[in-house]
Amino acid sequence: MLCKNIPLNKTAYVETYILNNTKEYNVGKKKPLVLVIPGGGFTFTSDREAEPIALRFNAIGCHAAILWYTVMDQVMNVPRNGLIECMQAVAYFRAHADEYLIDPKNIIVCGFSAGGNIALNAATQWQEAWLDAPTNTTPEQRRVDLCIDCYGGVQFNAAKPGERQGFATELLMTPMTVNERWFGVDDPTLEQVKAMNPIYHIDPNYCPPMFIWHTGEDQLVPVEQALDLATALCKAKVPFELVVYEKGEHGLANADRTTARKDSHFNRHVGKWFDQCAEWLAPYIDYPENLYGLQAKGVPTSGVRD
């Protein structure tokens, strides 16, 4: 496996989990890449929603990478900046698809909580012209092919001007207000609020298929947000799969011992989300002409066992 850190700027980077190209199976096969985007309330990036998730995608034959986007109030409007960094990462992997044996038609974003907001904005806004200049890319370079939303924030409302309370505020480096952190200004307009709420940007001409999962007991991101997202996708005729689990708190990650730090992080039923996601993913990534690599195309692979 190729593990390396690729800087995007002074405060953000991507960490790769690129599978090896063996001489025995899937020879020369270009594999999907899943860009994992951890949550953390836009104040930190959660380890629980990073490497353990990347490794699970590796286990089903996908390359993976983690987007460690800029947090801790090092920039204003963290979600917008995170979207820019996400788009830069997607464009980087598409540009290096041959080098890393990445299938350029299967670059997938998978976000959790705040990272889910970034993933959803990437999936719904990658074609927007305003991203050209700050990312130094074209829409085709930063195209998102599939989106996996894990209890992501779909609709953020403005706080009262001057409000400084927020999630994990003890980690913050500056006395930025909640609105400055989320929207870039302390008293945002309705348009500025809508700009970072993906539900307002669903266009069937660009929006990719989505897998969405949530829990009914989530107290940080209400399950209604997932239901509203699914309704909007349905109205736009964008393919999606929605799974809502009755029990379970916010931030369950894998919901098993690999990501638990307390008893309530164990939830056997919610832990099935990844297998359900993998089943949803299979028809999109397992297409005949790319199923077995070079052997499927009749290219000789000397010294390789059948």
* Residue range 54-110, pLDDT digits in tens: 999 999 999 999 999 999 889 989 999 999 999 999 999 999 999 999 999 999 999
| Phi, psi (degrees; rounded to nearest 5) at 86 | -60, -45
Strand order in the sheet with 31-37: 5-7, 13-17, 63-68, 31-37, 102-112, 146-150, 210-215, 240-245
Q: What is the CB-side half-sphere exposure of residue 248 using CA atoms within 13 A? A: 29
Residue 296 confidence (pLDDT)? 56
Strands 13-17 and 31-37: unpaired
Residue 289 confidence (pLDDT)? 79
Residue 267 has pLDDT above 70, yes or no: yes
* Residues whose CB falls within 8 Å of the CB of residue 4, separated by 6 or more in sequence, listed in order: 15, 16
* Residue range 145-191, pLDDT digits in tens: 999 999 999 988 899 999 886 655 666 667 788 899 889 999 999 99
Lookup result for tokens 């286990």: 59
> Contact 118/111 with Cβ under 8 angstroms?
yes
Give the amino acid at 277.
Answer: C
Residue 303 confidence (pLDDT)? 45
Residue 100 confidence (pLDDT)? 98
Task: Kindly state the percentage of the chain with pLDDT values over 90.
Answer: 81
Residue 304 confidence (pLDDT)? 43
**Residue 186: CB atoms within 10 Å:** 17
Residue 197 confidence (pLDDT)? 93
Ramachandran region, residue 225 (left: φ > 0; alpha: ψ -120 to 50; beta: rest) = alpha
| Average pLDDT of the chain to the nearest whole number | 92
